Amino acid sequence: MSAPTKILPDHHKHCDDLFVAAEDAAARADWAAATAAFDRFRAQMDAHFEAEETVLFPGFEAATGMSDGPTQMMRFEHEQMRTLLAQLAQTCAARDRDGYAGVAETLLMLLQQHNMKEENILYPMCDQALGPNAEQIGAEMSALLGRVDG
Amino acid sequence: MQPTLSFEQAPPISVPYRFFLTAPLFGIAAGLLLSWLGPAALASRWSPGAAALTHLIAAGLMLQTMCGALLQFVAVAAGANIWRPRLIAAVVHPLIMIGASLLALAFALGDPFLFRPAVLLLAVPMGLFIGVLALALLKTPARGMTLHTLRLAVFALLVTLTLGVTLAGTLGWQGNWPLPFLTLVDVHVAWGLGGWALLLVIGVSYLVVPMFQLTPAYPVWLARLLPAGLFLSLLAWSLQLGREMPPPWLAGVALFGMALAGIYAATTLRLQSQRRRRVSDVTLLFWRGAMVLLLALAFSWLLFQMLPRLGDQARAPLWLGVLALPGVFVSVINGMLYKIVPFLNWLHLQRQGDPRKPPPNMKQMISERAMSGQMLLHFTAVALLLAALLWPLLARPAGLAFAASSLWLEWNLVGAVRQYRRFLERALRDRIDAAGSGRES
């Protein structure tokens, strides 16, 4: 049986690719392409947050009884990233190249260190804790991440 | 509302910043000392000036930033803060600052009495620092090659410190201890630069090189081989402390270590050239410069082995030292500071302010032009330092250039801190105004 969190690191990479496409287009000031690429990026990010917040984290919290531990911190960082995604949308709409570059840089740093903590610490903890529910949780997350076309 | 932080995002910002803000001062001091002493300081590695310069950079600039950055970085790599970060920083920072200054002064003046307080002021806080750091790195449930490499780096720091204390103790108390002094120095240097500093850079790069520019990850076999190989070669190199080892054997061990360093540098350069993110920045250029200089270091060492007429020159070890210290390590540190400080500014500010008034983004913390200007000056200073080993008349200008580059770095960091303060004060004023108008209505 494969680990329930196995799909998540791959999805992080997928989001990275979409981030690059949007950043690249914005740096070239190709705003039509940047807007389209950014929308795809944001949709995938939202789907990822949703899969974790509605399926994985509750499963982990139920299994361990840790509801104000690592998952709470991860939720907090998701909120920080949602704020930055909203700012990116604004700079994209305003065709503000420097603004986009600065917010994108900030988001990437936050996103990467967040992913690192999840991949090195939280996901292994989840795989260990979930036990018999693992398969169902994996399937539910796959469904949520597959729903958005990206 | 902020959640209860049991999975801490970061220690208080003052913890790493105090180290970052005082570190460049040691670079300024080193540059000024060189410009004051002139060519005599670069006559051989055994000149008092060279020893003082080395320790201003290694035990001053490098050690400070590495300690400060680790206090921050462990929270990300190990998912846990170290024990009482505020207290540790408050004790460790001032003591190692004074300790490193005294150590450099003791070397420069050749004063045995100064070595005594220097030893104590470095040994006690560094022992404490290594202790809490080792605890955090060993206790964590996290895993990964970075963590493994950091553990080896901290062990190497302990060995470096122990050997350094022994050496400085010998100088300070002038005892007739039956110690192989020159061998001890060679082993101390190997653990300090090839162990602590290089292992730390390698461990951190496993995370940040892919993270900053979205490059492919380091190949798994290499990520395992590098720390293990370097560590084994350091152990083998240390055997000469116990008994005399045949020179070809020592050369073989050194060749193995240098080859690993060269492979690491070449791999990093290759990964960076395969980056998915196309935009470039100052941090990337600092890293690439450092890796080119690390390759140059490995090749220079090889050349010195093959051409003993060149390698036996008194300035040959200084050539390697300039490549390693201001070249490789100060460049990486400088580049990392330009990424860490803007990010930490943002991270701490966005928790303070009104969510409707976001803090400046990372690129608004230090101006791009100021950073690239300082980078150009830094690499010019490194080039001048290397040139000064061929044409000693250049020693003073090289020292001034390095001091100026360190001063500019300090200025840029202070600018970032002022930007942080400005935003914080504005957020506070807004909050007071809001509370005031709330009461009136």
Kindly write down the DSSP assignment for every residue of B260-298, as one continuous string: HHHHHHHHHHHHHHT-S-----HHHHHHHHHHHHHHHHH
Structurally, how many domains does chain A consist of? 1
Contacts of A73 in chain B (CB under 8 A): 3, 5-9
- Nearest Cβ partner for B361 among A80, A106, A116: A106
Contacts of A120 in chain B (CB under 8 A): 77, 79, 142-144, 147
* DSSP letters spanning A76-112: HHHHHHHHHHHHHHHHHHTT-HHHHHHHHHHHHHHHH
Which tokens in the block code for residue B407?
Answer: 């001063």
Give residue for tokens 């990116």.
A88
Interchain proximity A102–B7, CB inside 8 Å: no
* Interface membership of A9 toward B (CB under 8 Å): no
Interchain proximity B361–A99, CB inside 8 Å: yes
Residues B9 and A109: their CA atoms lie apart, in Å, by 13
* The predicted structure's pLDDT at residue A119: 86
Q: Do residues B75 and B81 lie in contact, with contact meaning Cβ atoms separated by under 8 Å?
A: yes
A1 falls within a domain: no
Which tokens in the block code for residue B239?
Answer: 């055997």
A17 falls within a domain: yes
Return the minimum-mean-pLDDT range out of A59-63, A146-150, B282-286, B371-375.
Answer: A146-150
Expressed as residue numbers, the domain containing A99 is 7-147
Question: Closest approach of chain A CAs to the CA of B201, in angstroms?
Answer: 17
Contacts of B145 in chain A (CB under 8 A): none
Nearest Cα residue to B416 out of B376, B350, B375, B367: B367
* DSSP letters spanning A15-65: HHHHHHHHHHHHHTT-HHHHHHHHHHHHHHHHHHHHHIIIIIHHHHHHHH-
Residue B178 CA to its chain's centroid (Å) = 33
Q: How far is CA B246 from CA B181, B231, B243, B251, in A?
A: 18, 20, 10, 9
A122 falls within a domain: yes
* The predicted structure's pLDDT at residue B174: 80
Best A121, A123, A128 residue to mutate vs chain B (most B CBs within 10 Å)? A121
Interchain proximity A16–B4, CB inside 8 Å: no
Q: Which residues contact A31 (CB under 8 A, 6 or more apart)?
A: A25, A92, A95
Question: Closest approach of chain B CAs to the CA of A72, in angstroms?
Answer: 6
Contacts of A90 in chain B (CB under 8 A): none
Residues B176 and B148: their CA atoms lie apart, in Å, by 40
Which tokens in the block code for residue B206?
Answer: 């496993």
Question: Closest approach of chain B CAs to the CA of A69, in angstroms?
Answer: 5
Q: Do residues B107 and B52 lie in contact, with contact meaning Cβ atoms separated by under 8 Å?
A: yes
A2 falls within a domain: no
Q: Is the dihedral of CA B2, B4, B7, B8 positive or negative?
A: positive
- Nearest Cβ partner for A76 among B2, B76, B358: B2
A51 falls within a domain: yes
Question: Closest approach of chain B CAs to the CA of A142, in angstroms?
Answer: 24
pLDDT by residue, tens only, chain B of 441 residues: 232 233 455 788 999 999 999 999 999 999 999 999 999 999 999 999 999 999 999 999 999 999 999 998 887 777 667 889 999 999 999 999 999 999 999 999 999 999 999 999 999 999 999 999 999 998 887 778 989 999 999 999 999 999 999 999 999 988 777 788 999 999 999 999 999 999 999 999 999 999 999 999 999 999 999 999 999 999 999 999 998 999 999 999 999 999 999 999 999 999 999 999 988 999 999 999 999 999 999 999 999 999 999 999 999 999 999 999 999 999 999 999 999 999 999 999 988 766 667 899 999 999 999 999 999 999 999 999 999 999 999 999 999 999 999 999 999 999 999 999 999 998 888 888 888 887 665
Nearest Cα residue to B277 out of A142, A59, A17: A17
Nearest Cα residue to A42 out of A91, A4, A76: A91
* Interface membership of A86 toward B (CB under 8 Å): no
Residues B408 and B382: their CA atoms lie apart, in Å, by 15
Q: Do residues B353 and B286 lie in contact, with contact meaning Cβ atoms separated by under 8 Å?
A: no
Predicted ipTM of the assembly = 0.89
Nearest Cα residue to B42 out of B413, B347, B397: B397
- Nearest Cβ partner for A73 among B3, B147, B207: B3
Supply the CATH number for residue A109's domain. 1.20.120.520
CA nearest to B214 within chain A: A16
Question: Closest approach of chain A CAs to the CA of B220, in angstroms?
Answer: 15
Q: Which residues contact B392 (CB under 8 A, 6 or more apart)?
A: B38, B39, B42
Domain B14-351+358-424 belongs in CATH node 3.30.565.10: no
